[in-house]
Amino acid sequence: MSEKTKVFVIADHPSAPSGVGIQTKNFIEALLKTGRYKVFCFGGAISHPDYKPQMVEPYGEDFIIFPVDGYGTQEMVRSALWTEKPDILWFMTDPRFYEWMWQMEHEIRSVVPMVYYHVWDNHPAPLYNKMWYDSNDVIACISKLTHDVVKEVSPEVESYYVPHAVNPDHFGRKTDKEISELKEQFFGKDDKRVTFFWNNRNARRKQSGSVLWWFNEFAEEVGPENVRLIMHTEPRDKHGQNLFKIIKDLDIEDGRIQLSTNKMPPEALASIYNAADCTINISDAEGFGLATLESLSCGTPIIVNMTGGLQEQVTDGEEWFGVGIEPASKSVIGSQQVPYIYEDRISKEDFIAALKKIYNLTAEERSEMGVKGMLHIQKNYNFENYKKNWVKLIDSIHEKYGSWENRKMRDRAWQLVEAS
């Protein structure tokens, strides 16, 4: 039996509830289920009770997680390379988190190919990222927008469009009878409110405060007894706002806005998606937007900001599976690490108009819109295809670029000439 190919993964911990964590888990399991791969992973971006290596069952020694703070350090990566001798390094999340690792490209790429799964970029093209894009053998992109940006900035780097997917075993549409039973279970037998669902981190770019504040204005217009908003999030996230305080100061304790704060398994989330009439995501900046993909997989329409991967989900160019809101303005933000990047911002007026559009549909019209969205997801974000595409891509990278003594560089041959 031939030796298994070993992949070194650096990303959010695969058990993390973040979109990056979930997709990392899906990627790793796709490889492991072939029986031809082993994975060891730096699991970051969460708090750890301890830092002991974790063996993941049922994969045993084929899947080991090393808990790390952040995403690790240069010394940790250097040690892992020479101790574990991986064949490929695969890493994922926003570019700004990996400058420290790209700075040691000469060490890493001399022995293994670097494969970066890129989550988000926006126009204008971030030319300052070119040196980092050029430091990879392959870049995979989660949205068409991000792929377009990468091709514009670094056309010579091998790149691919590999969108997210959700597991239909967890997220799927229930029968009409089951949906009616869920609505009665959650909201009561005679409840007639139209239910909107927001499932996101309470972070500034996610617009948690705006969603709450603007939804309240919408509720005042259509009657607070006719609508509700369920916000599944951490109400006091240090990166966001104090949602409890906003609700208290707005004096809205009549059920129009409800907070869901307990962590729940995918199956429980799927029940809420099915019971809801619409899911909302109006983030200023969104690489993909996993919650809206989950919602459409359950047959529930969406309201989204037309940015990042969200705009690919809400329409196929002909049919609409909810309401897409065009940004009313762009804001240039930045930091020492990110000199500039645009955030796409919608207006309050456009958001309330989108809420009204969904509210004014009949239950049958919303259901029809959601079912079309579900078919769109099954066709274009198919979970089985997602797994097959990743395995095919990693297979091809290993064969094309090799590792260690069989390492084949993309364009790194030097030619020495006599100095004049």
* Segment (H or E) for 380: helix 363-380
Q: What secondary structure does DSSP assign to 326-352, as a single string?
A: --SEEEEE--SS-S-EEEEE--HHHHH
CA distance 401 to 155: 19
Tens of pLDDT, residue by residue over 211-239, are: 999 999 999 999 999 999 999 998 888 87
Q: Which tokens sit at 304? A: 């989204």
* Residue whose tokens read 């911002």: 345
**Residue 336 — pLDDT band, cuts 50, 70, 90?**
low
Question: What average pLDDT does the segment 233-261 reach?
Answer: 85
Q: For position 48, what pLDDT does the model report? A: 85
Fold of 5-165+382-406: Rossmann fold (3.40.50)
CA angle 166, 169, 174 (to 5 degrees): 100
Distance CA 153, CA 221 (A): 46
Domain-wise residue ranges, the chain: 5-165+382-406, 176-379
Instruction: Identify the three-state secondary structure at position 64.
Output: strand
Q: Kindly give the residue spans of alpha helices, DSSP state H, lying in 223-316.
A: 243-250, 266-275, 290-297, 310-314
The per-residue pLDDT for range 22-69, each reduced to its tens digit, is 899 999 999 999 999 999 999 988 888 889 999 999 999 999 999 999
Please check whether residue 168 is in contact with residue 384, taking contact to mean a CB–CB distance below 8 angstroms: no
pLDDT at position 348 is 96
Residue 2's pLDDT is: 64
Phi, psi for residue 279 in degrees, rounded to 5 = -110, 140
Tally of CB atoms within 10 A around 278: 25
Residues 6+ apart with CB under 8 A from 17: 263
CATH fold match for the domains 5-165+382-406 and 176-379: yes
Please give the CATH number for the structural domain made up of 176-379: 3.40.50.2000
The pTM (predicted TM-score) of the whole model is 0.88
Residue 419, C-beta contacts closer than 8 angstroms, at least 6 positions apart: none
In whole angstroms, give the CA distance from residue 202 to residue 239. 7
**Calpha distance 320→310 (Å, rounded):** 12
Question: Highest mean pLDDT: which of 89-98, 205-214, 394-403?
Answer: 394-403
Handedness of CA 149, 154, 160, 162 (dihedral sign): negative
SS (H, E, C) 13-58: CCCCCCHHHHHHHHHHHHHHCCCCEEEEEEEECCCCCCCCCEEECC
Please give the pLDDT value at position 1: 46
- Given a cut of 80, whether residue 375 has pLDDT beyond it is yes
Dihedral angle computed from the Cα positions of residues 394, 398, 401 and 402, in that order, rounded to the nearest 10 degrees: 160
Q: How confident is the model at residue 413 (pLDDT cuts 50, 70, 90)?
A: very low
* Over residues 120-134, mean pLDDT: 84
SS3 400: helix
Q: Which residue has the higher pLDDT, 174 or 19?
A: 174
Q: How far is CA 160 from the centre of its chain?
A: 17
